[in-house]
Structure 1
Amino acid sequence: MPSRRSFLLAATAAAAAPSLSLQAQRPSTAPPSDLKLPAPIAALTSRRSEAVPITLEEREQRVERARQLLAEHKIDALVITTGTSLNYFTGLRWGQSERFFAWVLPVKGSPFIVSPVFEEGRVRERMEAKPATLPQASNTKVYTWNEDENPYALVAKALKEAGITTGKIGVEERTQFAFSDGIAHASPTLTAVSGTPITFGCRGVKTPAELALMRLANDVTFNVYEAVYKSAQPGMTNRQFSELVSAAYNRVGFPGDASCQVAEYSALPHGSLQPQVIREGQIILIDDGCTVEGYQSDMSRTFVLGKATDKQKKVFEIVHKAQAAALAAAHPGVQCQAIDAAARKVISDAGFGPDYKYFSHRVGHGIGMDGHEWPYLVRGNTTPLAAGMTFSDEPGIYITGEFGVRLEDDWVVTPSGGEMFTPQSPSLEDPFAKA
């Protein structure tokens, strides 16, 4: 599914005025040749060899962790249809459809799959693929249903064969309503409940292998952003800037993109569809990331080409301090809401309050295989931080009609505090300088 920002990029491209005649400009689906790219982008090279895929052994460990959590929460089985959690546990990438497809994990016994009958061949092909990705593939039974049959009754039948006739069935939170409703009514003796305690309980804390992929994704995004920043010119459209980002990601070998918002449009946290032109001295806000073996980065940088005004610098410094304060507040056991509070206090104390007036969103979100996932750094979330959790840290100040500043880096909770994957941006005029 396209992200909100990916959709925005596509819509902006469709709405934009004709491209300026820039040497670097080509459609993002056909990236420019090395000779046509600006030198900083042409200097980028593929980094795909650095990405180590998640192993079958690690997925087996995920399944066992899920069983432990099922037992702890007194849930008898977990049902996952399509999407990220299916990929997380099984390595299967299965597009969302109106036809019910599910991988089901009983608290005891072998997992099973419920699939449309005409998809069985494709299912078994993936179950037998090398290298293997599906845990306990040799013990996984495939139940199939025809177009005129009720797949939810088949789920109940399969659960009965697994010894589950009463109890709770955990449904993954992003399951479409028709599926969750069908599961809920599959049997009068089975109750559908949220599967989030299981999926979040597994996905919330990252393993060393996951963290390595996230570090790579963030490092790649940092290098791509820096190369495109060095290639940017006054007179370029925001669409052209975004297309250079796509070309740079093609150079490094990972899919990625970035929205680009200029001047007053940067005061809209998720941007505008309006075509925009980059000018010297105006705020430029870029945002998004890339995917490395299924793991995401999410990074924002705010900068100007040329000289920044005193007001722009003042706002940047406040946001910079707020980002640092959020990270400094992070330690295992601290509630998620405390991280948001630390950043919000800096911004409010500096005169950009009260509360959400200028800093209009939470300070961060969990990140991993989804760009936004549990847990969220927002007031009211009392979930305690744990080592291995990963988040964005993205305070902002948005002044309607003038400009907005947001700084965003991803970070991990360590036993001693918070650690960013990338260096904080030091200034508007030199956003990628390293200490």
Structure 2
Amino acid sequence: MLSRRRFLVSAAATAPAFALHAQEKAAAPPAPAVCDAPKLPEAILALTDRRKDIVPITGFERDQRTDLARELMKQYKLDAVLITTGPSLRYYTGTNWGQSERLFAYVIPQAAAPFIICPFFERDRLAEVLLNFPERESTITYLWQENEDPFIILRRALAEANVTAGTLGIEEMVPFGMANMIAKAAPALTIASATPVTAGQRSLKSPAEIALLRLANQITFDVYKAVYLSCGPGDTNHKVEALIAEAYKRCGVRGEASCNVGVATATPHGSSKEQLIHEHEMVVLDDGCTVEGYTSDITRSFVYGTPTDDQRMVFEIVHNAQSAALAAARPGVEMRAIDAAARAVIDKSPYGSGYSHFQHRLGHGIGLAMHEWPYLVGGNAQKLMPGMFFSNEPGIYLPNQFGIRLEDDMLITENGAELMTWQSPSLLDPFAIPAKGTQPAPPPAETKPEDKPADKPADASAPASPETTKPADTPKP
């Protein structure tokens, strides 16, 4: 099977396809309704509807995605690609369609018009979503009744697209049961993975996608900060989670978070049990929101009250590990090397080595799925390319004590890597603002990076802009 690394190197040659013309801006919808708004804390009420800032993906860009998919099919000798539901369907068509036992499929032949296999009773719904499909004027729809075999209809549709033999690429989210039925219904076809086309293509973000991802990160950062200022000892993790959900509504998007406290932070995904926040105990927030389907994924670890010496030491190590990974990330570097850069910092600490306390990979791709290809993990020799988007999330977990994870999302650029949000300066300053209960300092004057003297470092007394954050610029606890 052709490797993902070979795909992405080849995809680089097609990069001009991502040089898109200006995106169209949608009219701002009405302000969101929020339940019990007067009862919400001031910091959450201060959040504003961000939907006016959303610039959706255009039909022109979706047409380019389909064109590029066909070019990649030629390269990988796929005669057609079949997608059922999930992020890839949204990537190519802009449509969300729930997975069920009934076959709904979108098929892109290499040398023919796309077609759809759809249950007959869903025809009205399909007519609505087809308005956003690329090549919608030429897309063919095949409807099937409940007493018909949709897989036989699929075989006939493929034949009408001149795909009677050769290779059919199956997208990774297609359920095995459906893939198995397709293979039985069309034995003359070779079934292969479409991942080099679909997941590989999605891993290189266009300027429009990057803008949506950046906005999702900004919203999550603001929501977390508002809830941090609104909560404290005596509150439960469930209250924190509920306030985060309401805060996202204030911003006009959907989002959620998991909050874990104390010993529950000692495992990466914590516990669903109710937990009470106490002073001096670790609190960890994780997850994000979606903006036009594009997701954020941010984690903050902090303490209300004075941290212990052990908590401070672990935070410092994790912070340095995240900075080391950020500094190592640049085009052409193998993905395993970024994981190794963060892991080397932790391995040299009292909490190394291997996966003993840093129990998971450093990061994952982010886009229309919160976790998607590719991955920053040991053993992955695939190379970084400009336009890739990852989480950068080292952590240390001490059983029956506490855990600390710092997660920010980063974009691979021509010159290195760019964080979408401020790194967390300390356990008492998780959002680049003074600890809760102190008077916030005024925000620094906005300074363009090009205005700073090249031989003078940025002012370390104020947080750097999210667009220019680098390890040396971020204050240490």
Structure 2 Cα separation of the partners of residues 125 and 256 of structure 1: 26
In the other structure, the counterpart of 2:51 is 48
In the other structure, the counterpart of 2:109 is 106
Structure 1 Cα separation of the partners of residues 183 and 149 of structure 2: 13
In the other structure, the counterpart of 2:309 is 310
Would you say the 8 A contact 1:69–1:201 is kept in 2? no
In the other structure, the counterpart of 2:91 is 88
Fraction of identical pairs, as percent: 53
> Is 1:150 equivalent to 2:153 in the alignment?
no
> Which stretches of structure 1, 4 residues or more, deviate above 4 A after TM superposition?
29-32
Letter in 2 for 1:372: H
Would you say the 8 A contact 2:170–2:179 is kept in 1? yes
Structure 1 Cα separation of the partners of residues 40 and 50 of structure 2: 18
Structure 2 Cα separation of the partners of residues 425 and 220 of structure 1: 16
Structure 1 Cα separation of the partners of residues 154 and 35 of structure 2: 50
Measured against aligned partners, the alpha-carbon deviations of 1:401-425 in whole angstroms (never above 9, x if no partner) come to 0000000000110011111100100
In the other structure, the counterpart of 1:350 is 349
In the other structure, the counterpart of 2:443 is none
In the other structure, the counterpart of 1:335 is 334
Letter in 2 for 1:104: V
> Is 1:170 equivalent to 2:173 in the alignment?
no
TM-score by length of 1: 0.91
Q: Runs of 5+ in structure 1 lacking a partner?
A: 1-28
Q: Runs of 5+ in structure 2 lacking a partner?
A: 1-31, 433-462, 465-477
Q: State the superposition RMSD in angstroms.
A: 1.3
TM-score by length of 2: 0.83
Cα offset for 1:352? 1.2
Letter in 2 for 1:335: E
In the other structure, the counterpart of 2:42 is 39
Letter in 2 for 1:98: E
In the other structure, the counterpart of 1:284 is 283
Matches within 5 A, 1:145-224: 145-224=144-223
Instruction: Name the SS for the 1:269 alignment partner.
Output: coil
Cα offset for 1:138? 0.7
Cα offset for 1:103? 0.5
Aligned pairs, number: 403
Cα offset for 1:186? 2.1
Cα offset for 1:265? 0.4
Instruction: Name the SS for the 1:35 alignment partner.
Output: helix
Greater relative contact order (Cα < 8 A, sep 6+): 1
Q: Structure 2 vs 1, CA of residues 306 and 30 (structure 1 numbering), >3 Å: closer, same or farther?
A: farther
Q: Structure 2 vs 1, CA of residues 42 and 121 (structure 1 numbering), >3 Å: closer, same or farther?
A: closer
Cα offset for 1:70? 0.4
Would you say the 8 A contact 1:79–1:171 is kept in 2? yes
Structure 1 Cα separation of the partners of residues 120 and 153 of structure 2: 12
Cα offset for 1:247? 1.3
Letter in 1 for 2:52: S
> Is 1:412 equivalent to 2:411 in the alignment?
yes
In the other structure, the counterpart of 1:16 is none
Cα offset for 1:30? 8.9
Instruction: Name the SS for the 1:197 alignment partner.
Output: coil
Letter in 1 for 2:409: D
Structure 2 Cα separation of the partners of residues 391 and 365 of structure 1: 5
Structure 2 Cα separation of the partners of residues 42 and 398 of structure 1: 35
> Is 1:391 equivalent to 2:390 in the alignment?
yes
Cα offset for 1:38? 1.1
Cα offset for 1:274? 2.1
Structure 2 Cα separation of the partners of residues 239 and 30 of structure 1: 22
